[in-house]
């Protein structure tokens, strides 16, 4: 980190501690040239959000992957691409508002399902069948009941 006083590039870290409830790290540094002391904060960038998969593996959040999953659910439906993009945007907005740096895949699935339901019920059921990993026809029927029941 460049020294704010003399511009030297090298410093030593005197102290590191968690800040903002563990969401950032505060480092006290000392310039190796002039011994000036300064403080830096490190934060995880929002676009480096991590998805925790069902089996516990972690992977970088991918907008493309999310958009791909949502688009597949809308395959051959009459919903315009722009409307699907809006759904993807709204899902990402909600994830980012949650202020998390790691989010379970199941939670992303639920947020996406909530966004899809008011737009297209068939797409909703398709998406749900992938995200909830339906194991039998009964689970399928229950979700369909919920969708149809919700209309009453």
Contact residues for Zn ion, defined by CB under 5 A:
3, 5-6, 8, 31, 33-34, 36
Q: Between residues 5 and 23, which has the closer beta carbon with respect to Zn ion?
A: 5
Q: Looking at beta carbons only, is 4 or 80 nearer to Zn ion?
A: 4
143 Cβ contact list (under 8 Å, min separation 6): 125, 128, 129, 132, 134
Paired with 31 in beta bridges are 11
Nearer to Zn ion, 1 or 130 (CB): 1
Nearer of residues 36 and 131 to Zn ion, judged by Cβ: 36
How many Å apart are CA 141 and CA 143, to the nearest integer? Answer: 6
For residue 29, the minimal CB distance to Zn ion (Å) is: 10
User: CB within 8 A of 71, min separation 6: which ones?
Assistant: 84
In the complex, least distance from residue 1 CB atom to Zn ion, rounded to whole angstroms: 10
Q: Minimum distance between the CB of residue 8 and Zn ion, rounded to whole angstroms?
A: 4
The edge-to-edge listing of strands for the beta sheet with 50-52 is 58-60, 50-52, 102-104
- Cβ 37 to Zn ion shortest distance, Å: 10
């Amino acid at each position: 980190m460049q020294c704010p006083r003399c511009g030297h590039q090298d410093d030593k870290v005197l102290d590191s501690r968690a800040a903002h409830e563990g969401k950032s790290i505060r480092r006290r540094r000392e310039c190796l040239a002039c011994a000036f002391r300064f403080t830096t904060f490190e934060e995880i960038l929002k676009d480096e959000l991590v998805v925790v998969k069902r089996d516990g593996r972690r992977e970088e959040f991918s907008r493309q992957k999310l958009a791909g999953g949502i688009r597949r659910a809308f395959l051959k439906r009459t919903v315009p691409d722009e409307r699907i993009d809006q759904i993807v945007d709204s899902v990402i907005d909600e994830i980012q508002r949650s202020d998390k740096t790691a989010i379970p895949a199941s939670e992303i699935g639920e947020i996406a399902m909530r966004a899809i339901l008011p737009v297209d019920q068939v797409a909703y059921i398709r998406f749900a069948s992938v995200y909830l990993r339906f194991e039998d026809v009964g689970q399928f029927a229950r979700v369909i009941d919920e969708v149809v029941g919700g209309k009453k």
